[in-house]
Amino acid sequence: MARRLVEQGVPYVKINARGWDTHKQHFQIMRRKLPELDRGIATLLTDLSDRGLLDSTVVWCCGEFGRSPRVQWEAPWNGGRSHHGRCFSALIAGGGFRGGQVLGASDSKGVEVAERAVHPRELHGAIVAQLGIDPDAALPNPRALDVRVTAPFGSSSSSRRLPELL
């Protein structure tokens, strides 16, 4: 359906796949959900590529944060994993981004970023820039606040980009 919407010119398609908050029985749930996600992403990327739409379509797949590398085996968790915001993954494809890359790395236990942290605002800034939107542009709002498309990175007045991906 996402591919058909893109073919019809819909500029933004969001797919929300619920059930990834695996505080309990993580491995049982992932045995079911990961093949579904793999087939869905692979089919979408193949369909978009076959129809010449992948270069003009950004595909972004991620959650709102990661999962703890520590598995909680005791009851009631039975193999669950907690939230872990310090280190997690995202997939980005198409839309003019260079494929076949891994940017950044975790430590051997997946607890901390070991190499090239990528902050959400960097990823968002790169995506909107690829779509032709200035990440530093002001957004109109009724209170005349200084609100930008992408929040500034640190103390800098401009958003960092991900030139490694372009």
Give the model's pLDDT for residue 153. 52
pLDDT band at 159 (very low <50, low <70, confident <90, very high): very low
* Nearest by Cα to 97 from 126, 134, 122, 121: 126
- Summarize pLDDT for 130-147 with one digit per residue, the tens: 888 998 899 998 998 988
- Residue 78, classed as helix, strand or coil, is coil
Partners of 91 in the beta sheet? Answer: 61
- Summarize pLDDT for 56-74 with one digit per residue, the tens: 999 999 988 888 999 999 9
Residue 155: pLDDT over 50: no
